[in-house]
Each structure stands twice: as C-alpha cells, then as structure tokens.
Structure 1
C-alpha cells in the first residue's frame, strides 16, 4: 500500500465536488471547520457548477480532481459531498497522476466508488470520513467526528470499542486484513466492472442510507452470489440510516444481516457508527485492521506516514 504524507498546520487542502451539486451556504459553513484545524482551503474551479443532478459535467469534475492532484501546494483532497456521479468519472481518472502524487483523499457515500477504484488501481490508502458541505456544515457536527481529523496530522492507531457505541456480535472470531468497502449500494455497483470490489482476505465495511430491509437483502444477496462475502476475512456493519420498512410486512434489518452473515467463518460485528451518522467514526481504507468478537473491538492501523 501507498500511505499519503501527514498534514501540517498551514497546509492547503483542496475541496471539490465529484458527484452531486453543492449548496454554497453549506460549503462555506464546512470550510470554517477546516480553517479551525489550521488549514488553508482551495476550492475547485467547478465546485459550484450544476449540471442536472451532477456538480458539473464529467469533464468539469475530472478537471477539478486532476488539478488538485497536480497542484504541489495542495496536500489533501477533501470532497464537498457525495450523492451520485463518481462512477461516471472512474474510468477516465488519471491513476498514474495519483500514483505520482499520493495525497490524502477523504470522503464517503458515493465516494466509495472512487475509494475502491483508486485503492485497487494504485494501492493508495484513502479515508472514509465526513465531508465539507454535508457533515461539517451541520450545527450538530460532534466532538468525536471533529477529533478524528487529527489522524491526518500524525500516525494514529484507531480503536473502536463499546465505549463509543454498543456492538452486536453476528458471528464469532478474530481476523486481520486490509480494511475495504464503504457504501453497500456503491460496492454492488462495482460488480462486473473493471473496479469490482476485491474482498479476498480483507475486513469488509458495509454502510448505507435510505435502503429498506428488502433492498439491503437484495444487495447482500448479490455480494454473496458474487463470492464477495465468502472471500472476506471479517465484516464490519456500520450505520444504516433511514432504513425503516414501508412494506406492510417486512423482515427487520437485523434479521437480514443475520441471514447472510451469522454462519460467516470469521468475525462479524454490527453497531459501528461509521456512515451517514453522527458521530461518524472516520477510518483509513487500505490500512490493516483487526476485528475481534471476543474483545468487541475494531483496531485500525495508521493511514498516513
């Protein structure tokens, strides 16, 4: 794996919108938090564009990404928001440029597609964490979510235990491997593409928002039939926000996970506050993680050098 360099106070971070359009007010509110961290903020040339449900056309969004990668003054790229659209630019992304300029890349949700493509094409560790014009802009952006940005300023081993939230064991065991995954629907959308998620021997993180139990069932079934669940060493079930069933008769979300994962050969734990939630426990994808049902912990090695 390639580990990006740590940030220093006074460094410049680039903010771009590779998916859906950004609200100016929210973007400005989020910038304030980055400045509180002692960082300078450079906005992408096209960050305020709107092209239907996209933040500019594909060429605009690619141009911003490539410009931030090539700019020697920009030490990290933190995405403004997710939504939809990153899969549209994955094939045209300059992965050699990323390899030559391995910077901190931070975001989640629709950014899962970019995390997966970049990691598998370049080996760069990237970060699953809150974004500028969505999470950072909220009045209730909490202390833990804020504190976890400190992992970008120095190598930090992250420990998630029941001190943060109650954890439920779905399958017993201990496993170690690279942390991979993210948004479930985006992971499923990689199947059959050049960027198909590789889960072999890895700790698989799953989270999502707005998906009813029957939809989660269908996506887990697709991962199962594709061999992606069986190949993983362990599974971390993150937050599934706004997942209430609207059907008159439905399985509970917990029943869905148990159906697919209770006979898993390694550890499976749920209840992690990772995803579309606050607090949002940010983690480096590609870093080595250790998952234990006995200790009820997820320990993730530093994601920077």
Structure 2
C-alpha cells in the first residue's frame, strides 16, 4: 500500500498543474519599508527611451521618503525591452542580494516579464525577502515570485506611475504601516452630478468568501498558463484587470482560465478596470457584461466589478498571497492580515 501511494504521488508531481497543488507553509512577509530605506529601481519590462521619465520616477520615490539605487541596466535597451533577459534578471537578482537595498520596484510595465522568469534567483529571494511591486506586465514577476517563494508581493504602482494622494495612501498603509485596510472605492464622489458616475462597483453575485489574493493583468496571467510560475487558484480570491484588448480577446483569455480549471477553483472574483476594452471596428461581439456573466456567474462565488485596480491614475495596492475577504454585495476587499512585518 505504501508503495502504491508513492507511485501516486510521483504521478501527481508529473502533472502540468502539480505546482499549484503544493502550498507553502504560510506566506513569507518582507520587512515593512521605512522612510530612509533604499529602493532598488529596475526595468524588467519595457525600455525607457528618454531621460525625463526616469528622472521623474526617481524624484517620486524620493518624495515618498526613500533613497533610490538604480539597477546597473536600468537604462539598457534590447528592442523594446529594458535590456536583454539576462540583464533584466541580473538587476532583479542583484537588488535582492544587496543588503543595502530594502525593497525593489519596477520603473515601468510593458512586456517581457515572462521571458526572464527562469533566470530569477528564487532561492536568494527566499533568503532575503524584500518588498517587490509593480503592475501590468509585472503581473508575471509578482505572481512568479510568490508562487516560487511564498513571499507576499504587491500589485502596486510602478515607479513611473502617477503618485497621487489616493495611490500614495494605499501604498503606505500596506507597505509602510503594515495595516490591513478595507479596499473600497470612493463613495459619494458626485461632482456636479445627482448620482455617482465614476468608480462605481457592480455586484454580479453577492456573498462573502475568504482566501489568498492572486491575479493581476489578465493578458499576462493567461500567458503563464501551464508553467511552473502559474499561480495557485485553489480557494483564492482572483482579481483581474486589463487594457486595450478587444472584447473577443477578453473572452478567449477567460476561456483559457476556465479550460485550465483555474476558474472552477476560486472562492471569489474581483474585476478591476478593463480600460479601453471594446469591440473594435468590424467585430460583432458580446458585451463585457455578457462575457463576465457567462464565465463567472456559473461559478456560484461572490463576484463584483469596478474595483480601482488596473491602468488608472488612482489605484489600490493589492498584496498577492495575503488573506482577504471579498464582499460581493458591498463591492469591497477586506485584508485580513498585514502584508509586511
């Protein structure tokens, strides 16, 4: 009997989805960031072609109270990428290995993160856990690092984002003050209108559920399907956002999540902003409402749409791997534990 059990375990380990079945022993949390800490600034996605965006990003991080250390290849370019795969991974690995650096943040998004995932030194990250954050294409690294190490990472503004009061407050609450806030869109921002027209949430299916947060940009997330870096979805609260995708592509990507079995495992779904996702010229298509209803309502889990997550100026910082409770009726995410120590 014991021999049969070993054979079964060996067979399970060979399955493509086995990586998501093995859960780490609790999340690994980085030390909270403090004013005066040094942030390593790297360019793991697109190149930055002009000097001013880099200068502005450095000044923004300094205004947040941090010292800034530039990655050796932060100004590099390989086609549209911020250096070769080896250069971009080397900067990430060097920042985690540097005892003088307390956190690591991406300069910008774009594309290319999935190319460097096999070159990341995950063992080093486990030995020296630090804040790591970014969004958009950084969905690849944010999820891969958590999957491979158990470290809570952050779907957060990149250094080149607009650091407005809303984004700054949410970033500081999670990353610097180790709080567990309620992530809720602004209420009663009416302006000259009788009713609120911006940042509304919509309940697709009510109810509450708890689970670890996972997700990010839908396009990048589905590009990781089947790999060793594919997140765990069992019992998770899945959050999704995207930009500049035709609706039929959103449909296709949700189909990928369903075909892999990921959708059927989640405990709840938070839909962020799907910015400029439209039918496109010459396409007959379902609406986004119809696509979301068809894929998500059959799951019979809490789902709401419109969270301030994604390619927008004011955005939440969302901790990947942290335990949270979704309230589909209220359109909120309550974090249930600090994401840093």
- Shorter-chain TM range is over 0.9
1:19-68 C-alpha deviation (Å, 9 max, x unpaired): 11014211111211211111101110100011102111111111111110
Are the aligned partners of 2:307 and 2:331 in contact in 1 as well (CA < 8 Å)? no
Task: Give distance in 2, aligned partners of 1:220 and 1:201.
Answer: 18
Task: Give distance in 2, aligned partners of 1:30 and 1:81.
Answer: 9
2:233 equivalent in structure 1: 199
2:204 equivalent in structure 1: 170
Distance 1:162 1:128, change over 3 A: closer
SS at structure 2 position matched to 1:121? helix
Are the aligned partners of 1:171 and 1:264 in contact in 2 as well (CA < 8 Å)? no
Task: Give distance in 1, aligned partners of 2:185 and 2:178.
Answer: 23
Are the aligned partners of 1:267 and 1:293 in contact in 2 as well (CA < 8 Å)? yes
SS at structure 1 position matched to 2:312? coil
Q: Residues 101-140 of structure 1: matches in 2 within 5 Å?
A: 101-133=128-160, 135-136=161-162
2:184 matched to 1:161? yes
1:303 equivalent in structure 2: 339
1:184 equivalent in structure 2: 218
How much has 1:98 moved relative to structure 2?
Answer: 0.3
2:244 matched to 1:210? yes
How much has 1:263 moved relative to structure 2?
Answer: 2.3
Task: Give distance in 1, aligned partners of 2:202 and 2:315.
Answer: 18
Are the aligned partners of 2:143 and 2:153 in contact in 1 as well (CA < 8 Å)? no
The TM-score, its normalising length taken from structure 2, stands at: 0.85
Task: Give distance in 2, aligned partners of 1:212 and 1:158.
Answer: 34
Task: Give distance in 1, aligned partners of 2:89 and 2:254.
Answer: 31
SS at structure 2 position matched to 1:13? strand
Are the aligned partners of 1:19 and 1:81 in contact in 2 as well (CA < 8 Å)? yes
Task: Give distance in 1, aligned partners of 2:185 and 2:167.
Answer: 16
Q: Residues 37-48 of structure 1: matches in 2 within 5 Å?
A: 37-48=64-75
Task: Give distance in 2, aligned partners of 1:271 and 1:116.
Answer: 22
How much has 1:118 moved relative to structure 2?
Answer: 0.8
Q: Decide which of 43, 50, 56 is 1:29's aligned counterpart.
A: 56
2:170 equivalent in structure 1: 148
1:7-26 C-alpha deviation (Å, 9 max, x unpaired): 12111100000111014211
2:22 equivalent in structure 1: none
Are the aligned partners of 2:171 and 2:316 in contact in 1 as well (CA < 8 Å)? no
Task: Give distance in 2, aligned partners of 1:30 and 1:246.
Answer: 33
1:6 equivalent in structure 2: 32
1:16 equivalent in structure 2: 42
How much has 1:219 moved relative to structure 2?
Answer: 0.4
Instruction: List gaps (5 residues or longer) in structure 2.
Output: 1-26, 188-198
How much has 1:302 moved relative to structure 2?
Answer: 2.2
2:92 equivalent in structure 1: 65
2:109 equivalent in structure 1: 82
Q: Residues 287-298 of structure 1: matches in 2 within 5 Å?
A: 287-298=322-333
SS at structure 2 position matched to 1:263? helix
CA RMSD of aligned residues (A): 1.3
Task: Give distance in 2, aligned partners of 1:162 and 1:87.
Answer: 31
Structure possessing the higher radius of gyration over alpha carbons: 2
SS at structure 2 position matched to 1:170? strand
Task: Give distance in 2, aligned partners of 1:24 and 1:302.
Answer: 37
How much has 1:83 moved relative to structure 2?
Answer: 0.8
Are the aligned partners of 1:179 and 1:289 in contact in 2 as well (CA < 8 Å)? yes
Task: Give distance in 1, aligned partners of 2:37 and 2:29.
Answer: 18
2:297 equivalent in structure 1: 262
Task: Give distance in 2, aligned partners of 1:205 and 1:75.
Answer: 27
Task: Give distance in 2, aligned partners of 1:76 and 1:303.
Answer: 14
